[in-house]
Amino acid sequence: MSINTYDEQKFWEEVDILFPDIVKAITSLAKKSYISITNLRNGVTWWSEKAMEYFGMQENYTIRGQEKSKRSIHPDDLEDFRRGFLERVAGKNMDEPWEYRVRDGSTYIRISARAKMLNDKDGKPFVIVIRYNNYGISDEVDATTGLHTEPALDREIMEFLEESGQGALLKIGLDQFSHINVMYGAAFSDKILNCAAQELLRLLKGKGYVYRLSGAKFVISFKKVSKAELQQIYNEIVEAFENTEVEGKKIPLKVSAGAIFMEPYMKETNAVRSRLTYALSHSRLEHHGELVIFNDEVCGSDENQFELIGVIHQCATHNFEGFRMFYQPIADTKTGKIRGMEALLRWELEPYGMVSPGVFMEWLEQDPCIFDLGNWILRTALTDVQKLRKETEGFFVNVNVAAAQLERREFRSAVMNILKETGARPEELCLELTERCRDLDIHFLRGEVEFFHS
């Protein structure tokens, strides 16, 4: 007997008695999703065990509209939730998910629901099955804000590129957030970030999709938006963030933003990300936080350079391929003897040849990859300095540190761990702050300097 000729009806007749248990077994295997099945004739809904546990329901079976859950829906999302459910019951938008936020402890997490309608033998709607995905426990969701993170953003950019240059991205940075970290501590800073995320969701009202990047940065993707609409949205964000209030404390947030509109010539995700970072950097450093749109700032003559930066960015996130360290000697001005060396980063890969950091560091310093690249530079330099330790007593190496590295919470521990890994002595390392570190809060800088001097 072949599987193709096996009687399908016979198969289901044989397992029919176990069918309810089969459904329960399938739903119990889902780690991040919950299932409900509603009989539209009598309004009774069955909830999977995991749904009961998460939503805090007392019974598996409820009457539609009379469900009692220990988790409340965000007030701003109540109408969207009801409308989304009623549309699916009416057979509308069955292929589209709808989202809402549910309170989980002191924060809100995002739930995405998708429905499937089953008709009776007369073709009339009989049962609706809904799957609820809990983004709060997703591997690609930020635990602090409940937003999707960079892997999901990269997939969205790829979709934009495959659609021949449709869509737009808005990247928002919270300026001087390190100052907030120092003043209020990490735990309260996370609450501020969560508040900022919820405010973005409230302002957008489904017009765009919000992603959280590392640090205090967000990206909003738009399927379709005009420059005028984008400017209006940003103006509303600026005003709302200036009036941020968390647990009764008013905490004005100053922001900068860069945007990019997809165009047909754009082919690479990393190149798009580099252009977006470029626009954000110019907003913060040269335009006092005003919205900078990449398409308006750069003409076609610069495109080859941005393609190169995209390639270098990809290498910085994939085993640091092409990056090399060179060293410039540091001499004692009195004796002329070599006392140390300065670490210089270069990138070289065929067919591009040798590229100096002046071409790419401005963009990498604005990207989350700078932290891992900076650790690689430290590790390499401290490994190399030991080769000269025996020849010159007191030999040291100077390594530049970017502002984006210094303001990361784990920077201190990263440096200490690298010293331990390489066997280097603390006195063999001299950290040099780059020019942009002067934009950091003076009290924060003083604290970092005191820590490393100790």
Please write the tens of the pLDDT for every residue from 65-124. 677 776 788 888 888 888 888 888 888 888 788 888 888 776 777 888 889 999 988 888
Q: Which amino acid is at 265?
A: Y
**Rounded distance between C-alpha atoms, residue 402 and residue 345, angstroms:** 13
pTM of the complete model beyond 0.85: no
- Does residue 287 share a domain with residue 154? yes
What are the residues facing 399 on neighbouring strands? 431
Q: Taking residues 132-146, report their average pLDDT.
A: 77
Residue at which a domain ends, from 104, 137, 170: 137
Residue 331: CATH number of its domain = 3.20.20.450
269-308 b/e (C-beta count within 10 Å ≥ 16 → b): bbbbbbbbbbbbbbbbeeeeeebbbbeebbeeeeeeebbb
Residue at which a domain ends, from 257, 273, 298: 298
Higher pLDDT among residues 126 and 285, named by residue: 126
110-147 b/e (C-beta count within 10 Å ≥ 16 → b): bbebbbeeeeeeeeeeeebebbbbbbbebeebbeebbb
Domain count, the chain: 3
Q: Using DSSP, state whether 258 is helix, strand or coil.
A: strand
**Is pLDDT above 90 for 197?**
yes
Report which DSSP code applies to 302: G
Q: Taking residues 141-146, report their average pLDDT.
A: 84
- Does residue 449 share a domain with residue 326? yes
- Does residue 409 share a domain with residue 286? no
Q: Please indicate, yes or no, if residue 287 is contained in any of the structural domains.
A: yes
At 253 the pLDDT is 92
- Does residue 384 share a domain with residue 261? no
Higher pLDDT among residues 63 and 88, named by residue: 88
**Rounded distance between C-alpha atoms, residue 281 and residue 317, angstroms:** 20
- Does residue 158 share a domain with residue 99? no
Residue 204: CATH number of its domain = 3.30.70.270
Q: Please indicate, yes or no, if residue 208 is contained in any of the structural domains.
A: yes
What are the residues facing 344 on neighbouring strands? 326
Q: Please indicate, yes or no, if residue 145 is contained in any of the structural domains.
A: no
At 196 the pLDDT is 94
Cβ neighbourhood burial of 187 (10 Å; 0-12, 13-18, 19+): exposed
At 379 the pLDDT is 93
**Is pLDDT above 80 for 139?**
no
**Is pLDDT above 80 for 163?**
no
**Contacts for 58 with CB less than 8 Å, ≥ 6 apart:** 68
Q: Using DSSP, state whether 291 is helix, strand or coil.
A: coil
Lay out the sheet containing 44-47: strands in order across: 61-63, 44-47, 33-39, 125-134, 107-119, 98-104
Q: Please indicate, yes or no, if residue 303 is contained in any of the structural domains.
A: no
- Does residue 208 share a domain with residue 68? no
At 169 the pLDDT is 95
At 137 the pLDDT is 62
Please write the tens of the pLDDT for every residue from 42-51. 888 888 888 8
**Rounded distance between C-alpha atoms, residue 172 and residue 289, angstroms:** 10
Lay out the sheet containing 168-174: strands in order across: 209-213, 217-222, 168-174, 255-261, 292-293
- Does residue 359 share a domain with residue 259? no
Range in 82-96, 229-243, 411-425 with the lowest mean pLDDT = 82-96
- Does residue 435 share a domain with residue 345? yes
At 239 the pLDDT is 94
- Does residue 360 share a domain with residue 246? no
At 418 the pLDDT is 92
Residue 92: CATH number of its domain = 3.30.450.20
Please give the residue range of the domain that contains residue 250. Answer: 150-298
- Does residue 276 share a domain with residue 162? yes
**Rounded distance between C-alpha atoms, residue 315 and residue 327, angstroms:** 21
Please write the tens of the pLDDT for every residue from 373-405. 999 999 999 998 888 777 777 788 999 998 888
Q: Taking residues 239-258, report their average pLDDT.
A: 91
At 1 the pLDDT is 42
User: With bands split at pLDDT 50, 70 and 90, how would you rate the model's confidence at 219?
Assistant: very high
**Is pLDDT above 50 for 299?**
no
**Is pLDDT above 50 for 344?**
yes
